[in-house]
Amino acid sequence: MSAEEDLLLLDTDCANLPNGANGANGDDHIDTPLPVREAVLESKKDRDVKVGDHLLALWRPEEDDWREVAIIDKKKDGTSFYVHWVDFNRRLDAWIDRARLDLDTTRERLREVRERKRRWDEFTHEDHEHEGLLEADLKEHEELTKVKNVNKIQFGKYVLETWYFSPLPREIWKAGDDVIEKLYMCEFSLSFYKTQAELERHLKRHTMRHPPGDEIYRNGVVSVFEVDGEKAKIWCQNLCYLAKMFLDHKYLYYDVDPFLFYIICEHDDQGFHMVGYFSKEKESASGYNLACILTLPQHQRKGYGKFIISLSYALSQIEGKKGSPEKPLSDLGRVSYESFWARRLLLILRDIRNNPRTENRMVSIKALSDRTSFTLDDIKNTLDRLQILQYSQGQYYINVNPKIIDYHLQRCGGEGVAVDAAKIHWTPHTHVSKWLR
């Protein structure tokens, strides 16, 4: 099948809907004349839990839910342990008390838990954000960033719990320092401070209340600024340090010159408050229109993720290019993109299906690409994932049965914060070849 080939849109009532539409074993004490009960208590009290051990730990106490954890670090007195919950994303790594560990975890119990997790993954066809990373790079990354160095950050009026390690400047934190319980950050200059008093002194001197770039979009309270990484290097580096606290795999900290940063803000009489951002290479040999995307935790689930994605494609349409996000995507990024691609394509296909002229119910993947600025691969992969690109009697067709379309649209969620393309005031940049990467 070629991208230019027109695909017939069929309302196939008889087509099937997608799935869902309808430790210690006691050998060391074999000669010890102690009652069994006392031996168990002894092992729980005195067992030396080591970094690298895998045990069961209480995940949700109210449900007596035990999950596998890997011990990443521990306090010198052995009362608290920094653990990775094996079933979950690293953003949930945390310090837990010794009392939450099952110190008598057996290999049989671990095998049972792992088998249950394996069966669940096969059922859900779960994807992971580590896809696309070399195994050696992944191990090195996880070793360097295995323990968070900041627990909380004061950002404007919000106190945010961080998710991941961030390689902060040495004057703020360096290897061997204690974990910072609370770090203070100016939401306008993105400068870091160790105390509230330092931040307050800074705010009295700092008068700029918006990102250091050009405002390219304003609609109601939502504004977008374009910031050049070469012109505002320190600001953009600090933005990357902040982003790394909420993104697992992000290697851009110092080399910000080849990137443009698009900062999404909500504005009021106090200034322009950052909601999130995305970055893109000034020149991308791979055709990426987005390198990194983040919606800050306090603004998630408000529709800004889809706004950011929609804006990146609106800029691609102004440039007359097809675009795709840089891989691998974070877990949240993957969910947002798959939902965005599916919703946009499904609405277009529904409109074509409703055309009163049967001969006009034809569309090619290339035509869909021209209309959306999505790449051909992203479109085909989305149609395959939705199970609506089908083949019968020597011909490809798209199944636009209303029940199937409505089913998928419900799973995609809403549009999010809409982008009004008429309010984008932006001209594509002309960059020199030195930015090709």
| Spatial separation of the C-alpha atoms in residues 385 and 408, rounded to whole Å | 11
Q: In what order do the strands lie in the sheet with 150-155?
A: 158-161, 150-155, 180-185, 192-193
**Residues in Cβ contact with 247 at an 8 Å cutoff, skipping those fewer than 6 apart:** 164, 292, 294, 330
| Spatial separation of the C-alpha atoms in residues 335 and 253, rounded to whole Å | 25
Nearest to 195 by CA among 154, 245, 151, 239: 154
Q: DSSP letter at 24?
A: -
Nearest to 256 by CA among 277, 276, 280: 280
| Spatial separation of the C-alpha atoms in residues 283 and 434, rounded to whole Å | 9
| Under 8 Å between Cβ of 388 and 394 | no
- Token reading at 211: 């990102």
**Residues in Cβ contact with 127 at an 8 Å cutoff, skipping those fewer than 6 apart:** 334
Q: What's CA 101's distance to the chain center, in Å? A: 29
| Spatial separation of the C-alpha atoms in residues 180 and 162, rounded to whole Å | 11
| Under 8 Å between Cβ of 129 and 330 | yes
Strand segments (E) across 98-213: 101-102, 150-155, 158-161, 180-185, 192-193
- Token reading at 44: 């729980």
| Spatial separation of the C-alpha atoms in residues 420 and 418, rounded to whole Å | 6
Catalytic positions:
326
